Amino acid sequence: MSADVGAAGAPHPMSADDAEAAGALAGLRVVDHTDMRGALCGRLLGDLGAEVIRVPPVPDADGFAHAHRNANKLAGDPGTWESLVADTDLLIDNTGLNLAELTGRHPTLVVVALTDMGLTGPRSGWRLEPLAAFASSGAQYLSGFRDKSPCWHPGYLAHDCASVLGAVGGLAAVMDRRRHGHGQVVEISAQEAALGGLNPWSVLIPGYQRHFPELPAEGRRNADGNYWVFPARDGWVRTVIGTTYQWHGFVRVLGSPETLTGPEWDDGVFRGRNRDVIHMVADEILSQRDRAEWFELGLAAGTTIGVIQSPREFAAHPQVVGRGFFRHDVAGSEGLPMPDAPWKLSGTPAGVRRRAPAAPDDPARFRPRPDDHRWGAAALNAAAPASSGADVSATGSGAVNGSPDDEGLLLAGVRVVEFGMAAVVPEATWMLSELGADVIKIESTVHPDSLRLAGRGDLNKAFPFNAESRGRRSVALDLTTERGRELALGLFMAADVVAENMRGGSLDKLGLGWDDMSAMRSDLVYVCSQGYGRGGPMGKMPAYGPLNAGFAGAHWLWNHPDVPYPCSTSLNHPDHIAGKLLAVAVLAALDHKQRTGEGQLIDMAQTEAAAYLIGEVYLAAADAGADPLPTGNRSDTIAPHDVYRADGDDEWVAVVCGDDQSWQRCCELIGVDNRWPSTADRLADVAGVDAVVAAWVADGPAGDRAERLQAAGVSAMAVMGPRDHLDDEHLAARGALDVLEHPVAGTETHVANAIRFSRTAKRTAGPSPCLGADTVAVLGEVFGLAPDEVEALAEAGVCR
pTM attached to this predicted model: 0.93
Mean pLDDT of 177-204: 97
Assess contact for 189 and 118: CB atoms under 8 A: yes
**For 77, which DSSP code?**
P
Could you give the dihedral angle defined by the CA atoms of residues 400, 729, 721 and 707, in that order, rounded to the nearest 10 degrees?
Answer: 120
Distance CA 641, CA 646 (A): 15
List Cβ neighbours of 195 (8 Å cut-off, separation of 6 or more): 136, 137, 138, 202, 203, 725, 736, 751, 754
**Dihedrals φ, ψ of 476, to 5°?**
-90, 115
Q: Taking the CA atoms of 491, 492, 494 and 499 in sequence, report the sign of the dihedral they define.
A: positive
**pLDDT by residue (tens digit) across 71-90?**
999 998 887 777 889 989 99
**Dihedrals φ, ψ of 756, to 5°?**
-120, 115
Assess contact for 116 and 190: CB atoms under 8 A: yes
Distance CA 763, CA 410 (A): 11
**pLDDT by residue (tens digit) across 313-331?**
999 999 999 999 999 888 7
- Cα separation values, 388 from 10, 31, 676, Å: 19, 20, 51
Assess contact for 531 and 541: CB atoms under 8 A: yes
From the list 85, 37, 39, 505, the residue with the least C-alpha distance to 299 is 505
Mean pLDDT of 565-583: 95
- Helices 702-711 and 660-670: crossing angle, nearest 10°? 120
DSSP 141-204: TTBS-TTS-----SSSHHHHHHHHHHHHHHHHHHHHHHHH---EEEEEEHHHHHHHHH-GGGGT
Q: List beta partners, residue 442.
A: 475
pLDDT band at 369 (very low <50, low <70, confident <90, very high): very low
- Cα separation values, 607 from 277, 386, 521, 602, 787, Å: 30, 47, 29, 15, 43
**pLDDT by residue (tens digit) across 7-23?**
222 322 333 333 335 89
Assess contact for 144 and 560: CB atoms under 8 A: yes
Assess contact for 151 and 559: CB atoms under 8 A: yes
Assess contact for 764 and 770: CB atoms under 8 A: no
Q: Which of 72-81, 357-366, 522-531, 745-754 has the lowest mean pLDDT?
A: 357-366
**Residue type, position 455, single letter:** G
Q: What pLDDT sits at residue 373? A: 41
Q: Own/partner pairs for 12-19, CB < 8 Å, 24+ apart?
A: 12/372, 13/595, 13/596, 13/597, 14/372, 14/374, 14/595, 14/596, 16/596, 16/598, 19/347, 19/348, 19/592, 19/595, 19/596, 19/598
Q: What pLDDT sits at residue 543? A: 87
Relative to beta strand 338-339, strand 344-345 is: unpaired
Mean pLDDT of 385-412: 45
pLDDT band at 632 (very low <50, low <70, confident <90, very high): very high
Cis peptide before 318 (omega within 30 of 0): no
Distance CA 278, CA 226 (A): 11
Relative to beta strand 184-189, strand 497-500 is: unpaired
Distance CA 37, CA 670 (A): 28
List Cβ neighbours of 169 (8 Å cut-off, separation of 6 or more): 112, 186, 188, 755, 756, 757
Q: What pLDDT sits at residue 537? A: 85
- Rg (the chain; Cα; Å): 25
Average pLDDT score, the chain: 90
Distance CA 298, CA 281 (A): 17
Q: How many CB atoms lie within 10 A of CB 265?
A: 18
Q: What pLDDT sits at residue 419? A: 94
DSSP 12-29: PPPPHHHHHHS-TTTT-E
